[in-house]
Structure formats: structure tokens, C-alpha cells
Amino acid sequence: MMDAFEEEPYNAEMSQTSAINLVKLQYEYLCKYKEDLVNKKHSPEMVNTLMTGRILNAERFFLAYKERCFVESKVEYWLLVGQIFNLSPNFVTKSIDALSKAVKLDPKRISTWNLLGEAYCNNSEQVLAEKCFENALEQKRNVVSLRNLSILSRKRSEGDCKKRKESAEKGIALAKEAVSLNLKDGTSWGVLGNAYISAYFSIKPDPSYAYKAISAYKQAEKTQEGKGNCDLYHNKYVALKFVEEYCEALEAVSKALELAPTWQLAVDGRNSLMKYLDDINHFSATHGKLKPKKVTVLRKSICRIDLGPYANNRSYKPCNIGALQPGPNPKCVIYGKVTWNLQVDDTFPFTFGFLDSNGDSLVVTLYNLAERKGFIIGDAVAIPDPHLTVVDFTFDDKVYQFLKVKVNSPASVILNGKPTPSSYNGAIGYVSFETVN
């Protein structure tokens, strides 16, 4: 596209061209310019700064052609002006004003309702945005309105458990309908993935939600728009991290950083997960900060009384780590001592080292633990029905190897020979997380 538009809005050649087409060309030029900035991996802040200057130049251009455009089509003029202003959050009020004029002139046009709804979203006016998308759906069920309503539904995460569940389920239903209208639309697949991962956190940490999210993200990756979407790979990382698929999670967030190298959210996510895994590697190999003599004392202090109610439960068999098989181990209960603990922030589970009477050890990740609660070094712990995972992968020339058992709630753990007190139980399904869109 020509930069000449920015310098001189009128010349003899342009006088023979449709004014609406000239404004449309300016809009297409700005879209291409923004796409180039993103592809060159400028930061969002830099993109916005550069776009602001270009849009101010464009404003002078289309104001000069306003009267000619009105003769051709007022609707098209206000629609294009609204789209131009919508290319930067600095002009959201002007975008809303222009698109509102367009929708009044032609209230049956679906695309205008959707654009106005997105502008209201950018201005944090959720109720007005929802009304716009619903008006568009009254004309015809369409992908854009459905997926935007899915996003807005998920943002209604406040309130009691029932309301959160209703909002999450509505978000899933809307996204699924959007996907059904176009199975090759990567954006809709990504929104469906976000709806599932939102349900994982706002309803309950059911792994099926997380794995459905991951499946949807993988479908999105197959599309052209998905392959270049850094948000998609970051959100996939979030889902993989919470199901403890560490290698795939690191690969996903690294892909996000390939597409957006300066994106701080992804940088922090990658660094925090690698540090978490580095700490586990180190503590697992050294029993934390315990000296060999202390480890021996802990090992020799392990006894059947630590099993609590499972000591005389014939349905369960006391086991050491060496007797476990990868995967579920029903009707088994392992018991031992805490040798170290690790609590980073609320995006990671409470993590601790577990030592059995044979001197073998593994890592336990404990979810839904109440704030400021945890197990301390020397605590006796018994875990029924342990699900064993063998972690063994290499990433960034670092080798990660350890055995791991995931526990979904403190309520299932025996602590110092007794059921864990109810005060240790956190709010199940309401964990801090961050996805994009």
C-alpha cells in the first residue's frame, strides 16, 4: 500500500476513484502495516505506539473525504472509520462512536454488530458488548458472535459455585456451537480450549476438562491462524502445566516465545516452570537440605502407626515405593516421611519430598491446599491409591528425572497418623491462573 495517503489526501488521480474505495485502501494498508509490525516481533507497546501515529494520519485523510463518501454510502464510511480506529486501543471511544452510527443506519448487518461489540469489549463495557453480539445472532447464528459471547461468559467468574458453573458451561456450549459452524476455524477452536480450561478452574479440577482444552488447542494449531498465534501456545502451556505434562508445557510456552520473544507473561511462565523443575531435581537428589544422618533417622522412624485408619484396613495393602507400578495403584497405600517442601506461588501445587522405610523417595504434588497450610519436614504422610508418574525428559540440555504422585486434595491424605484436618482443605476448583482471551 502507498504511504502517499499519509502525506497528501487529494490528487487528480484520486478524484476519479470512489471515495469509499480510497478509505478502504487506507484501512487495508493499516491492517497490513500492523501485521508487519507483529510479524517483526515488536512488543505490543511498540506496535500500539507506531499504530497511533499512522491512525492519526489516516484520520486527516478520511475526514477530507467524508462528504464524498457520504454521497456514496454513509454506512460504509462509518464502518470503515470504526474499523480503522479499532486497530488501536487508544481510539476505542472514537471506534464505538463511528460503529454506533453505522449500526443505526443498517441494523441488520451482522458484521457491524460484531465490530461494535468488540469495541465495547475493548472499553470494558461487557453488558453493551453482549447486547451487540446477541443482536447479531438474532440476524443469523454466526461464528464471531458465538465465540465472543463465550469469552464474555467465562469472564463472569465471580459469585457462588453455582453461578461460576453456569457461566463456565455456557461458555463451553457457545464455543462448541461456533466450532460446529466451521470446523476449520482455528480461532473458534482456541476459544473452545479456553472455555474448557476455565471450567477446570471455576467448576472443579477435573482432568477431563484440561485434556479437552489441550485437544482443542491442538486442533487450532492445525489451522493457518493458529500456527502464528502466540496466545494459543501460551494458553496450551497453562493447560499442560496443570496436568503436569511438563515437557509439552515447556515446548508450548517456548513456541509462544518464538512468535513473541519479548512477551513478559510467556517469559515469566517459562522461567518459573523451569525453576520449579530445577528445584525438584535438586531437592530430590539431595533430600532437600537434610544431612545423611537426619535422613537415616527419619527413615528408621517410619512405622505402621503412620498409616492411621489404613493400618487395620484389610481392603488396602501398605506398600513401599518400589512396589508401585506406573499409573494407578488401587487399594495400595504408601507411607513415609516428608524430607523437603516447596511452595512457589498459587499457580503451582504444594510440592514435597516423600521418603519410605526402604530409603526410596518420590515427589508429591498436592492440590487445593488452604492458604498458609502445608506439611513440614518430618511429618508422617500416608497416601492411598497413589497414581505414579515417571518424569524423564530433557529440555534445554537439562535432564529432568524423578518419580511423582499427584494428590488432588489434602482430605485424602493421612497426616501424622490421622486424617488431615479440614482446615487444610482449600477452595476446590478456584485456583489462580491466567489465559489470554
> How far apart (Å, rounded) are the C-alpha atoms in residues 172 and 153?
9
Query: Of 2.40.128.630, 1.10.3720.10, 3.20.20.70, 2.40.50.550, which CATH number belongs to 291-424?
Result: 2.40.50.550
Q: What is the pLDDT of residue 17?
A: 77
Tell me what pLDDT residue 318 has. Answer: 97
pLDDT digits (tens, 9 = 90+) for 375-412: 999 999 999 999 999 999 999 999 999 999 999 999 99
* pLDDT band of 117, cuts 50, 70, 90: very high
Handedness of CA 170, 171, 175, 176 (dihedral sign): negative
46-94 tens-digit pLDDT: 999 999 999 999 999 999 999 999 999 999 999 999 999 999 999 999 9
- What is the domain partition of the chain in residue ranges? 4-276, 291-424
Q: Does domain 4-276 have CATH number 1.10.10.10?
A: no
Q: What is the mean pLDDT of residues 129-134?
A: 98
Contact between residue 365 and residue 293 where contact means Cβ atoms under 8 Å apart? no
pLDDT band at 157 (very low <50, low <70, confident <90, very high): low
Express as a percent the part of the chain with pLDDT over 90. Answer: 81
Q: Which helix (H) or strand (E) holds 296?
A: helix 292-301
The candidate with the shortest Cα–Cα distance to 82, out of 126, 135, 45, 120, is 120
The per-residue DSSP string of 303-367 comes to -GGGGGGGTT-TTSEEE-GGG--SEE-TTEEEEEEEEEEE---TTS-EEEEEE-TTS-EEEEEE-
285-338: pLDDT as tens digits: 999 989 999 999 999 999 999 999 999 999 999 999 999 999 999 999 999 999
Pairing between β-strand 387-395 and β-strand 317-319 as defined by DSSP bridges: unpaired
Residue 416 has pLDDT above 60, yes or no: yes
Percentage with pLDDT > 70 across the chain: 93
Sign for the pseudo-dihedral over CA of 4, 10, 12, 16: positive
Other Cβ atoms closer than 10 A to 124: 8
Confidence at residue 14, expressed as pLDDT on a 0 to 100 scale: 52
CB atoms closer than 10 angstroms to residue 284: 21
pLDDT of residue 1: 40
Residue 9 has pLDDT above 80, yes or no: no
Contact 409, 425 (CB under 8 A): yes
Q: What are phi and psi of 342, to 5 degrees?
A: -145, 120
Categorize the per-residue pLDDT at 430 as very low, low, confident or very high, splitting at 50, 70 and 90.
very low
In this prediction, residues 163-179 reach a mean pLDDT of: 93
DSSP letters for 93-118? HHHHHHHHHHHHH-TT-HHHHHHHHH
Mean pLDDT score across all residues of the chain: 91
Residue 222 sits at the vertex; the CA angle it makes with 216 and 224, to the nearest 5 degrees, is 120
231-290 residue pLDDT tens: 999 999 999 999 999 999 999 999 999 998 888 999 999 999 999 999 999 999 999 989
